[in-house]
Chain A
């Protein structure tokens, strides 16, 4: 096993910079998720690590070794592709054994490794089938197995769950995480799905427009986003934002006013953006210790069963997402009063969107 490091890595296609000065340390045995919207450079970063794309600038290391000019097959990595890339003319057994045979692994060793992987992934009964005779989920497991048997230094996964249906995706998510913990192989996992990132990664690296916006544990990213992009990208439903001005120890928005969070430096004056997650925006109750009340009109109702999210437009045009436990009786168009738990308030600069202060995590 080995760690991975990107040192100021840049990838250019002509004039376009797909990845800009990416610096990221991934520890041995760590599961790191690269997440970001499409075109953010996450897959390009992964492909540079795999050796499938040349590096324009910077250094990529696997363990201590610089691999910029090392061919993919000599990097000792295994990759799971989005479309699985199984060899269609080979049986599952041959698919699993292919990489080992190419590396001249002794026959008995190949057999035992294939059997072990097949057992771990419940592929035993499918070993003599060809990929086209398998369901999507089974093909996905074969792709995982092909990486697993190789016992490489690093696993690379490029959106491996995106072709599965929602239920199977959740199930496989857990499976991958469990397998990774079992074998302890350093893993770099690319996805655009922030739920996948939050549930799977030991650490998450959020990318946007070729840049690394923030890397940290899921909790850090959720509680202390480094900027407005990360704040908006992580969490579902996303954070609500409203432009505010700091004045007299309070925050004034276009259609509301509230006391500033009780941290020094927060309201040093100036134009800011307030960010607040739905769970910190609740229906108004006098005794709940919330800042408010703020009044607005319900724009939409999303009932998920255990909780309901209301989109509420306040005067001035800002929209807050309110979390209501259980079912809510409101209908679009109703007037609605809510309050804000100030410990959940995050503030960002209006220009550039950097976080103004890192509040303590809300409990």
Chain B
């Protein structure tokens, strides 16, 4: 009886938490489907207005914003994944002098918020003529993401049996070959999880884009959304439709990779 009661309680608790997470999302979707100009999120629906998405897309110029976001995200994810894998392998697998000091220096990148250094960063990039280019959005985020990614991949590499790497060395494999052909194939969940996380953070990055670019054509989706909201302060349905458009890619990536994502999150937590 107690077991059953516990079960009910667990479901109840999880149900409440799910509700807390879901209500705003459902609210936004609901609003996005309402007639333009109406005011309430959950109030009297008078049909589903899918046309809102097309209107928002056109009026908000989301095609350009999403393209910019895609360019930045793909570049950041690609560079930081490769760098993180290589640095994580070095920290997790190789013994070299000063490795722990270097690792702590790297962790600074995780600890210091972007807000703390965005102003000097702006001046530096302006001196290099990089402001108002995609590079101003890509490089800083590669830096920040690589700090996290190295931390993440190091944890994975540390969990790989050392004997596997030693066997490969004795078999004549170079460090480079051992990393890409022997060890990394085992780390797919860890890598994919990292990709999802970096994708999410890069996609949602707002402040950097706000400071570094003023050209309309370079604006990323979250920035575009903010400007779109500034122009449409009254039409909640269009605003909500814009928000859904901007959020969809992240949701899709997550849904697509969620199986690996969950497994990656558990890597090291449970003995395989």
Contacts and interface: CB of A to CB of B under 8 A. Distances in A.
Given A88-B186, A89-B185, A99 B163 contact: no
A89 B170 CA distance: 18
Contacts of A85: 161, 163-164, 166-167
Contact of B170 (A73, A83, A86, A88): A73
A167 interface: no
Given A79-B167, A83-B163, A102 B185 contact: no
Interface of B: 161, 163-164, 166-173, 177, 182, 185-186
Contacts, number: 53
Interface in A71-124: 71-73, 77-79, 81-83, 85-89, 98-99, 102-103
A78 B170 contact: yes
Interface in A337-358: none
Nearest to B95: A54
Contacts of A82: 163
Contacts of A164: none
B218 to A, nearest CB: 41
A52 B186 contact: no
A102 B163 contact: no
Contact of B177 (A88, A102, A150): A102
Nearest to B172: A102
B167 to A, nearest CB: 4
Nearest to A73: B172
Interface in A40-83: 50-52, 71-73, 77-79, 81-83
Given A98-B173, A99-B171, 9 more contacts: A50-B170, A73-B171, A79-B166, A81-B163, A83-B161, A85-B163, A87-B168, A89-B186, A150-B171
A51 B167 CA distance: 12
Nearest to A158: B163
Contacts of A81: 163, 166-167
Contacts of B182: 87
Nearest to B164: A85
Contacts of A86: 167
A79 B166 CA distance: 9
Closest 4 CB pairs of A and B: A99-B171, A102-B172, A85-B163, A85-B167
